[in-house]
Amino acid sequence: MAHILNRGLAIKSLSAKDLADFLDAEYKGSDGITVNMVSPVAIAPENALSFWTSLTVKNQLRQTRAGVLLVPKDFDYNVPAQSLIFVEDPYLALLQVLEEFHKPLVKFSPHKVHGEAQVHKSAVVEGVVQKGAVIGPGCVVSKGAVVGAHSVLEANVCLYDNVHIGENTVLQAGVVVGSRGYGFAGENNSVAVPHYAGVKIGDNVEIGANSVVAAGFITPTVVGDGCKIDTFVQIAHNCVLGKNVFMVSGAGLAGGVCVGDGVEIGGGAKVAGDVYIGNYAKIAALSGVTKNINPQAVVAGFPAQPINQWRRQVVAGRR
């Protein structure tokens, strides 16, 4: 079970020099700085190792508090990180560090089924099932997974390691939570990226049949309290949904999307990676969202735009 910290994933305590030696890389800055976690650059604290990617924006680099930053060899930005380690591919270097030094700080929760829970005889339960929960036929609750009190897993639900389901939550048949996120690295994308950080699903959530919530990479994927997710919905790695979000059948979120409270996403709508959708925004069915959406905005079309503007374009196109 990965140990989830507020801002990242725990690793063995290492100095910048230790990391540079391990990666056979040059470094610049303080060799005395010590890190004990891996964190995204935008939220990394001083005790964190972070990393540059092609998606990293300059504002995040200028404001990062990361103690050590993995950067490409031609990196020439002035950043406040205390130490820089220059590598061929920062993402691959990070994967090497995690593979070698990510050490769980807590053990898996013991296999425990509350006496008042109901577990079908065909289910496989290696995690924790709390009071009043119902586990249907063919379900799998892996080590480190927790099913909260009075929650229901219908037939053939699969919970991977390090998944936490809140209370009074319903997962309909065939739902998968915590599967490895879609990510590949290296030459010819030959390295499948492990996703260590799991999923946290809140209280009073419902997720429709055959929907998927993928595990986060170094911070968890989060579905907030009261969310209502329809069938055949994809929520990719590291998405964060606020409270009371509605997503209709066939909608999909790419990795790292942040959805505010009370957002409504229509059927078949898709949202590109790392986009922010403000509180109480509405996205019409079959829309394609490629950039941030302001709070309370109502958008439609591809690329998504204010719905009244989209309607005028549709009318003009019919003349």
Per-residue pLDDT of the chain (319 residues; tens, 9 = 90+): 344 445 789 999 999 999 999 999 999 998 789 999 999 998 999 999 999 987 777 778 888 999 999 999 999 888 887 899 999 999 999 999 999 999 664 455 567 999 999 999 999 999 999 999 999 999 999 999 999 999 999 999 999 999 999 999 999 999 999 999 999 998 899 999 999 999 999 999 999 999 999 999 999 999 999 999 999 999 999 999 999 999 999 999 999 999 999 999 999 999 999 999 999 999 999 999 999 999 999 999 999 999 999 999 999 988 7
The domain 9-101 having CATH identifier 3.40.50.150: the answer here is no
Range(s) for CATH 2.160.10.10 in the chain? 112-314
Whole-angstrom distance, CA of residue 279 vs CA of residue 262: 6
Range(s) for CATH 3.40.1390.10 in the chain? 9-101
For residue 47, list its beta bridge partners. Answer: none
Burial 139-162 (b: 16+ CB within 10 A, else e): bbbbbbbbbbbbbbbbbbbbbbbb
Catalytic residue among 102, 150, 164, 237: 237
pTM of the model: 0.93
- How far are the Cα atoms of 66, 113, 158, 185, 206 from residue 141, in angstroms, in the given order? 36, 11, 6, 29, 17
Candidates 3.40.50.300, 2.160.10.10, 3.30.470.30, 3.30.710.10; CATH matching 112-314 = 2.160.10.10
195: annotated active-site residue: no
